[in-house]
Amino acid sequence: MSPVWSLKSVEESEDGPESVEVAIDTLLSLRGIATAEERASFLEPDYDRDLHDPFLFSSMERVMERFRDARDKGERVGLFGDFDADGITSTVLLHEALSKLGIPVSVYLPDKHVEGHGLSVAALDTFERDGATLVVTVDCGMTDHGPIADARKRGMDVIVIDHHHVPPVLPDAYAFVNPRLPGESYPFKELCGAGISFKVLQAVFMTFFPDEREQLKWFLDVAAVGTVADVMPLIGENRTIVTYGLVVLSKSKRHGFREMISRGRMRSSGGKAPVARDISFQIAPRLNAASRMAHAKAAHDLLIEPDADRAKELAEILESYNTDRQKVSAEIAKSVQKIAVSRPERRFVFAAHEDFHFGVVGLVAGKIANEFRKPTIVLTKGSEISRGSLRSIPELNIIEVIEACGDLLERFGGHAQAAGLTVRNENLDALEERLERLAAERMTGERLEPETVVDMRLPQSLLTLDFARRVKRLAPFGEGNPEPVFLFEGARVEEVRPVGSDGKHLKLALSVPGGRVFDAIGFSLANKIPGLMSGDALDILFQLDENEWNGSVNLQLKLVDMCRSEK
């Protein structure tokens, strides 16, 4: 399959921007940053200026008053969180907020393999035994009509703190804190569960501990991890949370984060803070591995553990879970890849099998959706029902599609790009055909070839360390603010060699007209162009990076894609 490169900046000259300033202005413009005020906020996020008042949430005052009552009356709170990284970090933030208020807390994280998403009877039974009279759900609860009604019958108020899809009819909860509620006055809608939990924590400090508000910043590492792990757009308030959170993460007081940083060999010394990519590829997988392979409690306990030795033990447990997760997900991904390849005409990849480990189906669905550029569902078949996860592509709102299949499903939930569902096995065939039909109807004319979006052609005059550092000022990179990808045509291969333990990565020395030579690294690109040798000419897509070696820092091109050049 030939690469499809889509160049975003079409108004530039044929050779690319003429100067650093023009290039940076173009990159900002492509990210929707137009005014001087927007530019200042984007390039220099400010904690005091760019974080909104949490009391802009219409129900925040009501929530604080309920917390005050719980504290004054000596009530116990049952805290229910989801089992993924966002749910875990959300739970940690609310656990510590309530504990600071002196409110006793019973934490319940569901078993992903047995209970699935959402508030459960088992959780309510536990809370009732513990004497809880107030239940707080974080990163879940918007569609839990039955369990919330059950909680009310037991004499428990329920506060829902969530960011997921809002159903047409809300459960009978005491209060909702969700920026997506119709008519909600909070100005930023893209917070994740951890982001909203941080806003609740911010309100707690403003209400009960106004003299300690500066201490709130120490919780930003947790909020940043949840935000990046849940693939939220790194714009607006999220950008401020993650920018400051990465700095806090580099000097985190949490033994759990220190252990994960060490095991992931992340930058956290010499004045260098971790980057958002470190969360995505090192911290989030380790947190998620707990629920995928066993139970989320180990990840939650790691983040709140005050003892360094115990934190090390818990980190080792998560490390073993993560290793197992990598092996299992790779095996399942191969099976689903075969299905996708065997049915190229289908717009929706549909895979269900008894041997698919439920803990990793979402991970595999995301990998296949990205690889084949098709919405994907991966299901674990049980004796009577199947449970699984869907991941989509930007062109298709998956929760809208799932809602249109509601009559075939036992339960479902999620948002535009990711969802989960439970379906009876007798409805699997009907579900597959309806998903295919809906995808075809809503994606008419969409190109199915994998596409790489390119920011701009880059002239060789901007292949400099100075420009690379200017580009890095646009970080943190992630969803909504992807790391810029550049195009250079006609680079000459001076040296080529495979690297890595299995030889799947590619190290190149590339020259440009005038004789300048640059190091380039292409991860998983060793077999991209068979027979590649010195003297060949390439068109390359790349990102700019720094490589430090023997005390010297040089520009390195991080290859995204490449093909033989026609120049």
pLDDT at 269: 44
Same domain, 85 and 136: yes
Q: What is the pLDDT of residues 488-501, one digit of tens each?
A: 999 999 999 999 88
Same domain, 200 and 64: yes
Mean pLDDT for the stretch of residues 254-261: 94
Q: What is the pLDDT of residues 362-393, one digit of tens each?
A: 999 999 998 998 999 999 999 999 999 999 99
CATH number assigned to the domain comprising residue 119:
3.90.1640.30
Q: In this model, does residue 552 exceed pLDDT 90?
A: no
* DSSP assignment letter at 412: E
- Is 144 part of a structural domain of the chain? yes
- Is 318 part of a structural domain of the chain? no
Write the burial class of residue 402 (CB in 10 Å: 0-12 exposed, 13-18 middle, 19+ buried). buried
Q: What is the pLDDT of residues 230-241, one digit of tens each?
A: 989 999 999 999
Q: In this model, does residue 464 exceed pLDDT 50?
A: yes
pLDDT at 415: 79
Output phi, psi for 200, to 5 deg.
-65, -45
Same domain, 64 and 15: no
The number of domains in the chain is 3
pLDDT at 467: 96
Q: What's the chain's Rg over C-alpha atoms?
A: 25
- Is 316 part of a structural domain of the chain? no
Count other Cβ atoms within 10 Å, centred on residue 328.
18
Q: What is the pLDDT of residues 337-363, one digit of tens each?
A: 999 999 999 999 999 999 999 999 999
Same domain, 415 and 504: no
Same domain, 175 and 264: yes
Q: In this model, does residue 12 exceed pLDDT 70?
A: no
* Domain carrying residue 136: 50-310
Query: Where among 417, 442, 467 does a domain terminate?
Result: 442
Q: Using an 8 Å Cβ cutoff, are 365 and 338 in contact?
A: no
- Is 486 part of a structural domain of the chain? yes
Mean pLDDT for the stretch of residues 439-459: 81
- Is 44 part of a structural domain of the chain? no
Same domain, 464 and 522: yes
pLDDT at 561: 95
Same domain, 147 and 241: yes
**Predicted TM-score of the model (pTM):** 0.89
Same domain, 236 and 212: yes
One-letter amino acid at 302 equals L
d(Cα 363, Cα 368) in Å, to the nearest integer? Answer: 9
Query: How sure is the predictor about 5, in pLDDT bands with cuts at 50, 70 and 90?
Result: confident
Same domain, 457 and 432: no
Output phi, psi for 382, to 5 deg.
-100, -170
CATH number assigned to the domain comprising residue 422:
3.10.310.30
Percent over 70 (pLDDT), the chain: 95
- Is 323 part of a structural domain of the chain? no
Mean pLDDT for the stretch of residues 94-104: 97
Same domain, 285 and 246: yes
- Is 337 part of a structural domain of the chain? no
422 Cβ contact list (under 8 Å, min separation 6): 116, 385, 386, 387, 409, 410, 411, 412
Same domain, 306 and 163: yes
- Is 328 part of a structural domain of the chain? no
pLDDT at 105: 98
Query: Where among 293, 310, 327 does a domain terminate?
Result: 310
168 Cβ contact list (under 8 Å, min separation 6): none
Same domain, 519 and 428: no
d(Cα 283, Cα 475) in Å, to the nearest integer? Answer: 18
Query: Where among 387, 413, 442 does a domain terminate?
Result: 442
CATH number assigned to the domain comprising residue 11:
2.40.50.460
Mean pLDDT of the chain: 93
